[in-house]
Amino acid sequence: MKKIIILLGCIMLIITGFCLLHMKAKKNVPKDGYHLSDKIIVIDPGHGGRDRGATGEVLGTIEKDLNLKVAQNLKKEIENRTNSKVILTRENDTSLLSETNQKEELRARVKVARNYNADLYISIHHDAFEDTNVKGITTHYGANKKHDKKLAEIVQKSIFNQKITTRNRGIQGSDFYVLKENSSPAILIELGFTSNEDDEKRMNSAKFQAKTQQRIVDGIIEYFN
């Protein structure tokens, strides 16, 4: 009888060991050795629905569509490399509210971060300007939120940690509603100018998109570590 109990005990121990090993193997181990677990990240693809955002001069890029594509790719990249949860403020070509009141719409987007008690909020946009020579990438943070400056710095630096020929416009403390009124650390990235031919071509290239999403996630991971 005693032998049977010992044998059963051994079997139980072996099973427990296997279960533990399996659980450990299932956890995503980030490839670059950084660890980012259990954070809640809200990604906001700018514009949507009737609000198209900027329109490209040469290729006719529609900003709201490109913003959504970049945001969806970022979500995948974060989920592949970390154990964090990602929420998009919109999943389709829609606005959050049916009314076209811009202030209310932006308020609704900020509310998503508050409702989820997000650790981070990233708004994705593409810029436009009347002078078609103006180009480059800018990361904005709320001018009233000094703590978010570091976050903006890390992400902007990380984006340019690749071979990239557009201008580094640096970081900027801005008055954007989604940044200023956000209870979570928040940045807004403008990934190029739709009004500049080179930028427009670059922002639409799969290579630039893949590299840039990698670098943004590198930056996020660095920020949390």
Q: Report the distance separating Cα 195 and Cα 61, nearest Å.
A: 10
Q: Write the interaction track for Zn ion spanning residues 74-93; mark x where CB under 5 A is met and - where it is not.
A: --------------------
Q: Write the interaction track for Zn ion spanning residues 32-61; mark x where CB under 5 A is met and - where it is not.
A: --------------x------x--------
Cβ closest to Zn ion, residue 38 vs residue 131: 131
**For the chain, what is the total number of helices (H) and then of strands (E)?**
7, 6
Percentages of the chain per state (helix, strand, coil), in multiples of 5? 45, 20, 35
Cβ closest to Zn ion, residue 70 vs residue 154: 70
Nearest distance in Å: CB 69, Zn ion: 14
Nearest distance in Å: CB 67, Zn ion: 7
Q: Which stretch binds Zn ion (CB under 5 A): 10-18, 68-76, 123-131, 168-176?
A: 123-131
| Residue ranges of E strands in 22-180 | 37-45, 83-88, 120-127, 137-142, 168-174
Among all residues, whose Cβ is closest to Zn ion?
Answer: 125
Q: Based on the shown chain and the rule CB under 5 A, indicate whether residue 192 belongs to the binding site for Zn ion.
A: no
First to last CA, the chain: 54
Cβ closest to Zn ion, residue 192 vs residue 219: 192
Q: Report the distance separating Cα 116 and Cα 118, nearest Å.
A: 5
User: Rg of the chain's alpha carbons, rounded to an integer?
Assistant: 22
Q: How many chain residues are in contact with Zn ion, going by CB under 5 A?
A: 3
Tell which one of 75, 109, 125, 135 touches Zn ion (CB under 5 A). Answer: 125
Cβ closest to Zn ion, residue 36 vs residue 70: 70
| 214 closest CA partner among 30, 90, 85, 40 | 30
Q: Which residues bind Zn ion (CB under 5 A)?
A: 46, 53, 125
